[in-house]
Amino acid sequence: MTAARASGSGWARALQTQWWRARPAPWVHALRPLSALYGALSALRRQMYAAGWQHSGGTGLPTIVVGNLVVGGAGKTPTVIALVKVLQGAGWRPGVLSRGYGGAAQAPIEVRPGAAPAYVGDEPSLIARRTGVPVWVGRARLAAAQAMRAAHPEVTVIVCDDGLQHAALQRDLSVIVFDERGCGNGRLLPAGPLREALPATLPPDTWLLYNAPRPSTPLPGMLIDRALGRAVPLGAWLAGDTDSAAASVPLSALRGRPLLAAAGIASPERFFAMLEASGLDITRLPLADHHSFDSLPWPAATRELVLTEKDAVKLAGKAVAGTVVWVVGLDFGLPEAFTRALLHRLSQLTAP
């Protein structure tokens, strides 16, 4: 992950704003030599793995990597959650790998109930909570896969949350996710948001999904159906009671009430826009992606607050004073043509 994403400096925020403009400010052109260097080093690294000069290995199970070509979130985590549920419905027993971005863990570790998101990462915590499948994090994802297989021999397929550029882990199938922003200004880091150049055509065994109303790059892909779930009180959500009608209300029940909406995700404005499209009257409180919530970022006098599941995992054990906190999840519906093609390819890979 780049320093620009990790930094909260004004310069970093200004640069990231330019990434998503078709015509960035003239000063961004000064970074193009660095982008060329980044591209050359990335290509050299891929060649070293291809030539066997750097070690890569497989997990021993069918492995699906879900990632994107740009810095920042484009919807990988909800795509992983939706994909895991599809695999479960088809009789597979998935396990999930993640680097655990934002967490302190380095050696492979399982994300168990009650694990601190500050240690294992907020996204792995959410995936474990939403799916109930084994989730392991580690900087070395191959080692994490081996540890997961040893601990959970029942796992029959591995889904890697992010890792398209992690060449040390071999994969069988890849899923690329883009949102409305597409490739931004189309430049490689640091002049643009691209981790790698947009290919002219998709590689074999690769699918592209758009977390957007329409395609946002020239590449062919299918559209994800996204929708907000019901509003669940924070206490019930943390206790795992998210499905019963007694523990949640439809978003329409919150209409006509002044609400503060907070989101510490890569694209908070998308969450806010979806709340407003549902008829809610909100005041927006955008936060940095992976916001820590070491202290509560909203005023103590806030009566009602709406926030994302990714943020809610970090509020376990924290007192929210007199604020009524509603947790609203984002659910993805994967295209039927995509799931059919992916499951068919998986069956081919495992056929005797």
Tens-place pLDDT, residues 237-258: 999 877 666 789 999 999 999 9
Question: 196 and 253, same structural domain?
Answer: no
Length reported for the chain: 352
The pLDDT assigned to 319 comes to 86
Judged by DSSP in three states, 342 sits in helix
Question: 68 and 127, same structural domain?
Answer: yes
Please compute the mean of the pLDDT values over residues 316-336 and round it to a whole number.
Answer: 93
Long-range contacts of residues 150-153, Cβ cutoff 8 Å, at least 24 apart: 151/110, 152/95
Q: What is the pTM of this model?
A: 0.93
Q: Are strands 324-333 and 225-233 parallel, antiparallel or unpaired?
A: antiparallel
Question: 274 and 261, same structural domain?
Answer: yes
Strand extents, DSSP E, the chain: 63-67, 94-98, 109-110, 135-137, 157-161, 173-179, 206-211, 222-223, 225-233, 259-263, 282-286, 304-308, 324-333
Question: 174 and 88, same structural domain?
Answer: yes
The pLDDT assigned to 263 comes to 96
Is residue 18 in a domain? no
Please compute the mean of the pLDDT values over residues 70-90 and round it to a whole number.
Answer: 95
Is residue 15 in a domain? no
The residue segments making up the domain with residue 315 are 226-332
How many CB atoms are located within 10 Å of the residue 337 CB? 10
Question: 107 and 93, same structural domain?
Answer: yes
Q: Are 91 and 187 in contact (CB under 8 A)?
A: no
The pLDDT assigned to 196 comes to 94
Instruction: Tell me the C-alpha distance between 17 and 27, whole Å.
Output: 13
Question: 250 and 169, same structural domain?
Answer: no
The pLDDT assigned to 3 comes to 31
Is residue 252 in a domain? yes
Question: 326 and 200, same structural domain?
Answer: no
Is residue 23 in a domain? no
Instruction: Tell me the C-alpha distance between 209 and 341, whole Å.
Output: 13
Question: 288 and 190, same structural domain?
Answer: no
Please compute the mean of the pLDDT values over residues 264-275 and round it to a whole number.
Answer: 93
Is residue 172 in a domain? yes
Question: 217 and 88, same structural domain?
Answer: yes
Triad 200, 77, 34: Cα angle to 5°: 50
Q: Are 325 and 313 in contact (CB under 8 A)?
A: no
Question: 190 and 145, same structural domain?
Answer: yes
Question: 198 and 93, same structural domain?
Answer: yes
The pLDDT assigned to 9 comes to 62
Dump pLDDT digits (tens) for 5-63. Answer: 333 468 888 998 999 998 999 999 999 999 999 999 999 999 999 889 988 999 999 99
Tokens of 92: 């597979």
Q: Are 241 and 235 in contact (CB under 8 A)?
A: no
* Helices within 63-164 (DSSP H only): 76-89, 117-120, 122-131, 141-151
**Closest C-alpha to 209, from 66, 349, 86, 81:** 66
Domain count, the chain: 2
Instruction: Supply the CATH number for residue 344's domain.
Output: 3.40.50.300
Phi and psi (nearest 5°) for 149? -65, -40
Is residue 181 in a domain? yes
The position carrying tokens 């939403």 is 130
Phi and psi (nearest 5°) for 203? -65, 165
Is residue 17 in a domain? no
Question: 279 and 231, same structural domain?
Answer: yes
- More confidently predicted of 22 and 84: 84
Tokens of 308: 């994302």
Any idea what DSSP says for residue 245?
G
Is residue 26 in a domain? no
